Each structure stands twice: as C-alpha cells, then as structure tokens.
Chain A
Amino acid sequence: MNCLDYRRALETEPQRVTPEMQAHTQSCADCTAWTGEMRVFEGRLRRALAIGVPPARDLPLLRVASPARRFALAASLLGGIALASLIWLSFPRDTLAAEVVAHVAQEPQSWLSHEALPPPAVDEVLQRSNSSAHFVPGSVTYARNCRFRGHLVPHLVVRDQQGMVTVLILAAEHVSGKVHFNEGGYRGVIVPAPRGSLAVLSRDDMRVEEIATRMLQALGS
C-alpha cells in the first residue's frame, strides 16, 4: 500500500483501519503524522455536526391515534351508538305508542272483567266520543271514555276464546301508516282509521294485527 492509497482509504472510512494500513503507518512517518492531523480534523468535524438542539415541541399524540387505536375508537363509537339505539328502542318513548301504553297500564282493572257488556252500553260509550262501531255481540268486556291527549276516546277491551286486546279509538290522532310497538310488556299496533287512528295492544295475545284489521272493519261498517 502506498501513501496515496492509505490516505484515500483513511479519508473515506476513518474508523476502518486494515492490517495493510497499520503496516503502512509503521513504515511511513509522513502518513503517521498525517493520520494524527486527520484524527483531530475528524474530531472537530464530529463536534461541528453536533449542533445544539432546540427544546422539543409538544407532540399532539393524543390526537394522533395509531391505526389500531383509531379502529378501536371507531368500533367503540359505533358500539356506543348501537347500545344507545338499543336502549332507546327498549324503553317507552314519548310518542303516541308510549302514551297509549302508559294509559292502558294505568287502567289494570280493564283486564279483570270477563263479563260481556250489553251492546247498548258499548254504543253509549262510542257515541259520547262521536264514534260508532259494530262489534260482535258479547265480545266487549270493558268500555269507557277516557281523557287522552285532551280528547275523550273510547277505551275498550275485546275478548274472545283466544285472548283479549285493548282498543283505543283515537279520532284526533293521525298516523301516516302502521306503527308497531313493543313497550312495557305490551305488543301492539296503531293503524290509520277512517277518522284518526286505532290502537290495538295486548300483553299476551299475539293477534293484534289481525284484530286491528277486524276493528277497522267494525269501525267502517
């Protein structure tokens, strides 16, 4: 190895000293001296590059979630929305259906009677509310006019061999279509009627839809 090769090698990779290079310095005083100067220069170069570092800025890490964390956050959010929806759907809402359920629940005595009311007694209740209907004789076991949303509405319990349902004739309440509900232990439906709407609900009779259709026919006839 000659001086040029040695110096070139050391200037390229100062930390790498091969046996050949070591051998060269032992036999070359000039290169030994040059190596000393070179080492001093490298030390200064290192110091020159190591400039002062300004204080760290705050990293908004909390706003920068990792992909996994973003996914977890999104999943939590969706889960929360789903849970809130479920809770909202599970509890009576401040809607017509909820008010119907609340009203029926306040008259538990209506379910106790098994004796059919005479048709004139039923007609009288209906007439007081400016309603009319032709029920199958002997099927109505409870009939009275109740105050509901500021109006008198017929509150009836219709019973047959398969069970019983409560019917509210809501002449002042309009719905655009069928509203099914399942709240507070009552399953029911509110359907548009020739005048207003008709609510049919039951605690144990699953035929509310079918009975609602029959009631509508009775109201329309």
Chain B
Amino acid sequence: MMPCQRGSLYMNRASDGKERQRRFDELCTALRPDLFRFAFWLSRDRAVAEDVVQETLLRAWRAMDDLRDVQAARQWLLTIARREHARLYERKRLPTVDVDDLIAREELLLAAPDDTELQDLRRALLQLEDSYREPLMLQVLLGYSTEEIAKHMGLNVGAVLTRLFRARHQLRQILAGDGARPAETAQMRSV
C-alpha cells in the first residue's frame, strides 16, 4: 500500500537523521578532549583552540558521511583540526607573542596547583618550537606511531624521528634553565 510505504520511508529518513546525530554526539563526547588538547598545544591559545574545535566539529558534521571507519575517526578529526588551524592563521596572520605573556594568559589552563613541576613542564612545552611540539604531542598524548605522525604532518619517518629527539632534548634544556627560548621567535606562530 503506497501511503504506508511512503510513511515508513519518511520514518526511516527521520530515524536516520537521529541516528546520525546520535553517532556524532558519541563521537564528540569521546574525542573532544583529545581534539581540544591537540588544538591548544598547536595554537597555544585557549580561545583559538576552542574556535578550531568548533569549526572542526562543524566540518566533521557536514562530512560525516565520508567517514567509513569509526576507528579512524580520531585521526580524521585531528587532520581536519590541523587544517582548520592552518587556515585560521593564514587568514588572521596573528602577531608574534611573547612566551611570558602566553604563559600568563593561559595560567588557568596550565595550572597544576599541587604539582609545580607539572606546571613548569607545561610552561616549557609552550616554549618548544611548533615543529617539535606537534610530533611530541601526537606521540605522547595521542599515542601516534612514528609512521602515523609522518603521514599526519606530511614528513618522512626520518624527519619525524629527528624532531622527536630534538623535542625532548630541547625540553630538557628549557627545564634545566640553560636553553635558549627557541619558541620566542617569529616562528612561534608559524604553522
């Protein structure tokens, strides 16, 4: 009977829409923390990170049908976030920021009230060069393999290994207080 068939078709469409939104909500709940942390360490700015996350999720919602493998969702979202971050800086061309100002501005986010060493480490991370901080974050925080980092950043594996080694080396130097502040340059805001 036609009316029933039509009715059930519309019902399916409506329930498909709800199902799509439910899946997306689950995805957001599960992956938003990683996404925000990634965006923050990339931009070193909470407001920018929130904008990047927001834009990433909106783009992901539009393109959700392209996501075939849910297991790959995190890498997919992080790739979108990286692109959004780059696009944002292309558009805004933000000025160089002094690291001390950055630390002061993000004090709340960096704070670890019962652990001053942890707070120092976060401040040191802010001073790392962008090109070192990103692979380090992907490896330590997000558990990416070297090959995955290489793919994500468009580098070869050798270059990633070099950056990872230098990242830790530079971090130790900063923590020891004998390192220059490499991130305190115009390169800071480069993507």
Contact = CB atoms under 8 A, between A and B. Distances in A.
Contacts of B136: 45
Contacts of A61: 21, 24, 58, 61
B181 interface: no
A59 B57 contact: yes
Given A61-B61, A64-B61, A66-B64, A11 B121 contact: no
B118 interface: yes
B117 interface: yes
B74 interface: no
B28 A56 contact: yes
A134 to B, nearest CB: 57
Given A46-B141, A51-B110, A64-B58, A57 B65 contact: no
Interface string B11-23: 0000001001100
Interface residues of A, number: 27
Interface in B108-132: 109-110, 112, 117-118, 121-122, 125
A49 B138 CA distance: 10
A37 to B, nearest CB: 11
B152 interface: no
B126 to A, nearest CB: 10
A25 to B, nearest CB: 19
A44 interface: yes
Given A64-B61, A68-B65, A50 B37 contact: yes
Given A56-B32, A59-B28, A61-B21, A49 B61 contact: no
A11 B141 contact: no
Contacts of A46: 140-141
- Counting chain A CB atoms within 10 Å of each CB, the highest count among B17, B20, B57, B62 belongs to B62
A54 interface: yes
Interface string A29-54: 00000000000001011111111111
Contact of B137 (A49, A59, A64, A69): A49
B77 to A, nearest CB: 13
Contact of A11 (B61, B110, B118, B165): B165
Contacts of A12: 146, 161, 164-165, 168
B21 to A, nearest CB: 7
B89 interface: no
B168 A11 contact: yes
Interface in A85-109: none
Contacts of B40: 51
B113 to A, nearest CB: 11
Given A13-B161, A44-B117, A53 B65 contact: no
B68 to A, nearest CB: 15
Given A44-B121, A46-B140, A54-B50, A13 B164 contact: yes
A51 B121 contact: no
A42 B46 contact: no
B74 to A, nearest CB: 15
Contacts of B61: 59, 61, 64, 66
B190 interface: no
- Counting chain B CB atoms within 10 Å of each CB, the highest count among A11, A45, A48, A57 belongs to A48
B117 to A, nearest CB: 7
A45 B57 CA distance: 27
Contacts of A57: 50, 54
15 contacts: A13-B164, A45-B136, A48-B118, A49-B125, A50-B37, A51-B40, A51-B122, A53-B33, A53-B36, A53-B37, A60-B58, A61-B58, A64-B58, A64-B62, A66-B61
